[in-house]
């Protein structure tokens, strides 16, 4: 594998961070229009501008300094996890990188916008709505899901070879089992 191809998983962090940053700046530029809501897909998906002072799903935990500290520690832990993950585990590295990009996206808001994160994606049916979130939250959530599935798959015995082929260790017959019939 060449060096450029090996570096691709880390690109998820800046992509999530930049898309999140651009989307939030567009929302802030049109905040007055989005204070009500703008239907994107009927009433199921809409843009609604809100400022979130808390953590995930608006949970208020500790306050701004604590949330900034937790975000910085999490970002450093994700960088270490990425660096200590084998380059052969590309999906895992992509997932960790996406989580890092999302964590940094919300950290930027916490530092530069008085601890208030810009949220604007509003999903639901009628009055039954999911919490309002942003692109950074999508990076954390989807990256976390992919990381979980990657670890679960590895825990079930599938291994990746240097060529990228997966092998289920439980499905490979042992040499002694084949020789028992002779």
Question: Looking at 137, 165, 168, 181, which residue is catalytic?
Answer: 137
From the candidates 20, 109, 119, 122, which is the catalytic residue? Answer: 119
The answer to whether residues 43 and 130 touch, using CB atoms and an 8 Å cutoff, is: no
Question: What whole-number distance in Å separates Cα of residue 94 and Cα of residue 99?
Answer: 9
Q: Which helix (H) or strand (E) holds 33?
A: helix 31-34
114 noted as active-site residue: no
Active site residue 137: yes
Question: Which residues lie closer than 8 Å to 138 by C-beta, 6 or more apart?
Answer: 16, 102, 121
Decide if 53 contacts 62 (C-beta within 8 A): no
C-beta atoms surrounding 30 within 10 Å: 14
According to DSSP, the β-strands at 128-129 and 38-41 are unpaired
Query: Using CA atoms, how far apart are residues 156 and 78, in angstroms rounded to an integer?
Result: 24
Name the H helices within 116-162.
135-155
Question: In which element (H, E) is residue 44 found?
Answer: none
Catalytic residue positions, numbered? 119, 137
């Amino acid at each position: 594998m060449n060096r450029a191809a090996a570096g691709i998983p880390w690109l998820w962090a800046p992509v999530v961070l930049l898309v999140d940053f651009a989307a939030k700046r567009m929302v802030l530029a049109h905040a007055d229009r989005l204070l009500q809501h703008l239907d994107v897909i009927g009433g199921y998906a809409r843009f609604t501008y809100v400022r979130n002072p808390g953590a995930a799903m608006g949970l208020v935990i500790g306050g701004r300094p604590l949330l900034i500290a937790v975000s910085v520690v999490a970002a450093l832990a994700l960088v270490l996890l990425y660096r200590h993950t084998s380059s052969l585990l590309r999906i895992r590295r992509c997932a960790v990188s996406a989580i890092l990009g999302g964590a940094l996206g919300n950290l930027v808001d916490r530092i530069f916008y008085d601890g208030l994160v810009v949220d604007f994606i509003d999903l639901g049916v009628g009055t039954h709505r999911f919490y309002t979130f942003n692109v950074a939250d999508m990076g954390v959530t989807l990256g976390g899901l992919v990381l979980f599935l990657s670890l679960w798959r590895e825990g079930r015995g599938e291994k990746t070879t240097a060529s990228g082929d997966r092998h289920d260790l439980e499905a490979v017959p042992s040499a002694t089992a084949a020789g028992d019939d002779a």
